[in-house]
Structure 1
């Protein structure tokens, strides 16, 4: 049997990656920082006997060689926890970069066939999000201290692994996947992940919608892209954008209102002027990373993934509505 290692089994994307790989008939090993979460992960993904656990932390070397033993493929979807609003950007950048290299080095020592690493579309974006046009995987984000630490961390972590592979001479291959805004259903109330933006809209904690455009990709489609990139011979040594349909926040709000009726009564419909968001960000750290995206018009193309891997993302409205329905059904919508 083929064994796939999924890093970060307690995470939002990690949980769906486990479920998706098991569904396709492969054995899965997943890394957790503590075995205390193993039962919760099993319950969330509906695992049978083909799921096992390895204790490993992206911040430490211990455990990674054991985690890679007997593994054929690695889906490195985990990312170290960090404060996106920290004044010291290295608090986010260094763990992301070093964690990615830690996984890749262990995989090459074990002779794993291929590592598929999750990066981000903002690692392939122009200096200004306000620029018109469509960009592809050939573009690399230029590192700039003025950029949000999260965006810098994703860019620098991906660059670090490609630099490592440029000096590596062995059988292990590398592929990176660059998703947009990952939404969709949740597997458990304990793992809300990046769906918090929909959660906040349902709860009415946002006074209005900022003028921000998201390239919404369903978490299930993202996992499908990872698996395709894992198996396709032509995916070796390639970057693949995994963004979805570009929608403004106000369009997400409208989709929720239309589909959910009274359950979306608190969803804001008013679009906030940019200056209001910028003023609010002076006192609300959670808004600071958003200001660079106000009025964003740049988009990414997934033509490469569609052409080489046969991948296609579902409509954004379907994803956000099913995300909201899942949050409601799990009792964590507000």
Structure 2
């Protein structure tokens, strides 16, 4: 792989992928939705001591339009499909979220196949893997049931988009290799104020919006590890046709995160609640409230998640553990005054 395209270069994960690719000497082209994105990306990369900035180029392309995708992939060996449809307001119904996700995914894959791209590494989501498994060990062989009660519209859109991607890639007349990376909740250090949706959990804790803390176990991953896995998935021949869960070892609960912030970042913990929410209250609330229903699903799903496949096939080892991943995310929120 000599030259690659990264979609969604202004995003939390996309920026980290570009930084690591440039530091490894790749020729990188990235898509931007607006011209202002180019200045924003260059400013962030310069601030983070990126190497080989002369090897970075830009092209305007949007997941909602066919324009420029063939041009974007010209002469590219691989494509990192990182971008997701942007919602400025929560979609009122499933189709408003699912259709853009499906259309955007197919637009990228079809353009890649037509352009002769060898491999596409697609950023999927753990929501496509482990939200229906209740026990045992969750691996890349598992799939979430699209009709799972409590499954959010966002998770369902990522699930259906990945299924559509595999259906397309497995067609006899399609010549590209597909790899998907399925991250759990992404934290870690942000390169700028643009962070992942997972950070909302920390923002709500730090701002005091969460009054009662549920007994909720979580799997987390550092954004640097997500980017590292994606690049290894592009470079490793054996990765073709595979899914890879991106997760730190083990798990961390919401209550453990609260204790971690209070003990290690006491200067921002004044509004962090220590009150524990009993399970029975969440179960009752889930009968009437959509957010509580999603929380109940998060609590009931299996959190014994295996990251062994990425270690075995890609030679990957986590750069960060659960505690440092969470604390570096908190530090980013402090740095950018984001709560």
TM-score (norm 2): 0.90
Are residues 1:24 and 2:24 paired? yes
Q: Distance in 2 between matches of 1:97 and 1:108?
A: 17
Corresponding residue number in structure 1 for 2:33: 33
Q: Which residue in the other structure is 2:139 paired with? A: 136
Give 1:299 shift: 2.8
Judging changes above 3 Å, is the alpha-carbon distance between structure 1 residues 192 and 215 closer, same or farther for their aligned structure 2 residues? closer
1:230 pairs with 2:234: yes
Q: CA deviation at 1:192?
A: 5.4
Q: 1:12-42, CA deviations, whole angstroms, 9 ceiling, x for partnerless residues?
A: 1111111121121112111111112211111
| 1:214 and 2:211 are equivalent in the alignment | no
Query: What displacement does 1:114 show?
Result: 0.8
Q: Is the 2:130–2:301 Cα contact (8 Å) retained in structure 1?
A: no
Are 1:7 and 2:7 matched, yes or no? yes
**Cα distance change, pair 330–83 in 1 and its aligned pair in 2 (3 A):** closer
Q: 1:34 to 1:285 in 2, by over 3 A?
A: farther
Give a deviation string over 1:159-205, Cα, whole Å, max 9, x none: 11111111144542110111101001111124454322222222222
Aligned to 2:327: 321
Does residue 90 of structure 1 match 2:95?
yes
Contact 1:84 1:92 in 2 (8 A): no
Task: Report the Cα distance in structure 1 between the residues aligned to 2:167 and 2:175, rounded to whole angstroms.
Answer: 16
Q: Which residue of 1 aligns with 2:75?
A: 70
Contact 1:210/1:272 (CA < 8 Å) preserved in 2? yes
Equivalent pair of 1:211/1:249 in contact (CA under 8 Å): yes
- Alpha-carbon distance in 2 for matches of 1:132, 1:162: 26
**Structure-1 separation of matches of 2:296 and 2:58:** 40
Contact 1:56-1:62 within 8 A present in 2 as well: yes
Which deviates more from structure 2 when the two are superposed, residues 163-172 or residues 61-70?
163-172
1:259-274 map, 5 Å: 259-274=264-279
CA 1:178/1:23 → structure 2, altered by over 3 Å: closer, same or farther?
same
Q: Which residue of 1 aligns with 2:245?
A: 241
* 1:161-310 pair list within 5 angstroms: 161-169=165-173, 171-191=175-195, 193-244=197-248, 245-277=250-282, 289-310=294-315
Structure 1 residue runs of 5 or longer lacking an equivalent are: none
Q: CA 1:190–1:120 in 2, change beyond 3 Å: closer, same or farther?
A: closer
Gap change, CA 1:312 and 1:127, over 3 Å in 2: same
Kept in 1, the 8 Å contact 2:215–2:253? The answer is yes
Q: Indicate the residue corresponding to 1:148 in structure 2.
A: 152
1:60 paired with 2:65, answer yes
Partner Cα distance (2:281, 2:73) in 1:
49
TM-score, structure 1 as length reference: 0.91
User: Structure 2: how far apart are the matches of 1:233 and 1:254?
Assistant: 43
Distance 1:31 1:282 in 2: 43
Q: What displacement does 1:221 show?
A: 0.5
Is residue 131–residue 301 contact of structure 2 (8 Å, CA) maintained in 1? no
CA drift at 1:283: 8.7
State the SS of the aligned residue for 2:198.
helix
Partner SS, residue 204 of structure 2 = helix
Work out the CA distance in 2 between the residues paired with 1:6 and 1:208: 40
Distance 2:331 2:82 in 1: 25
Displacement of 1:285 after TM fit?
A: 6.1
What secondary structure does 2:170 align onto? Answer: helix
Q: Single out whichever of 118-127 and 83-92 deviates more from structure 2.
A: 83-92
Cα distance, 1:175–1:206 mapped onto 2, change above 3 Å: same
Structure 1 vs Structure 2 CA RMSD: 2.3
- State the aligned residue count: 331
> Structure 2: where are the runs of 5+ without partners?
none
Say yes or no: does 1:102 pair with 2:107: yes
